[in-house]
Amino acid sequence: MNPEPEQAEPKAEPKAPQRRTGVPVWRTGKPDAVLAAAVDAARTAIEGIAKASEIGDHLAARTEGDRVVTHLFESRLPGYLGWQWYAVLTRNSRSKVITVNELGLLPSEDSILAPEWVPWAERVRPEDAQEQDVQEQDQQEAPGEASAGSETEPDTETAADAEAEPGAETAADAEAESGVEAQSDVEAAPGAQERD
């Protein structure tokens, strides 16, 4: 008879986890009572970088180490839905004086995730559809009208100008030339030289 494997070998005692050198050990034990109760001090510190209306309710107090507590507040800052204001507080041993170490705004898990996708047909509101219908009706009523940005210059050519051969003179050109000739004749008149 073979003994069962569990009975044959003595049980090994579990080993304690070995510490890696250079890696800090974070204690997340019982929070410091003085720092955990300093919610008002944390809120006042955050009001130094944000408006009071942008700071929401107190969410939590986390212990970061010996005499180090982080207070988290809801953010009401527009565009930062789900974010949290934080204030890291600390104090010296045997002292009741609280020191603010750090302030800021952190994203939460809810703020990083994109909202669930909604198809376009379900996102369209009734008023959006009405505006689109009005625009389509306006386009159908005036199909031949030019748009406001594409005005054309009026034609300066007359029908006679368009029918004339490219090398032929038009009536307007002939009148302009005869006026120039008449003026030069006046200048060449014998009385014009005597006045000088």
| pLDDT attached to residue 172 | 56
pLDDT tens digits, one per residue of 37-93 = 999 999 999 999 999 999 999 999 999 888 999 999 999 998 888 899 999 999 998
Mean per-residue pLDDT, 93-97: 90
Amino acid at 190: P
Residue 132 lies in a domain: no
Residue 8 tokens, joined:
């044959």
Residue 103 lies in a domain: yes
pLDDT band at 3 (very low <50, low <70, confident <90, very high): low
Residue 160 lies in a domain: no
Residue 62 lies in a domain: yes
pLDDT tens digits, one per residue of 110-150 = 787 777 888 877 777 777 777 777 777 778 876 655 555 54
Domain that holds residue 48: 33-108
Residue 97 lies in a domain: yes
Helix then strand then coil, % of the chain, to nearest 5: 35, 15, 45
Report the mean per-residue pLDDT for the chain: 73
Please give the tally of structural domains in the chain. 1
| pLDDT attached to residue 146 | 52
Residue 71 has phi, psi (to 5 degrees) of -100, 135
Entry pTM: 0.46
Residue 75 lies in a domain: yes
pLDDT tens digits, one per residue of 48-61 = 999 999 999 999 99
Close Cβ partners of 88 (under 8 Å, ≥ 6 residues apart): 64, 68, 69, 70, 100, 101, 102, 103
Residue 162 lies in a domain: no
Residue 165 lies in a domain: no
Sequential DSSP letters for 91-119: --TT----EEEEEEEE--HHHHSPPPP--
| pLDDT attached to residue 177 | 59
| pLDDT attached to residue 156 | 54
* Of 6 and 117, more confident: 117
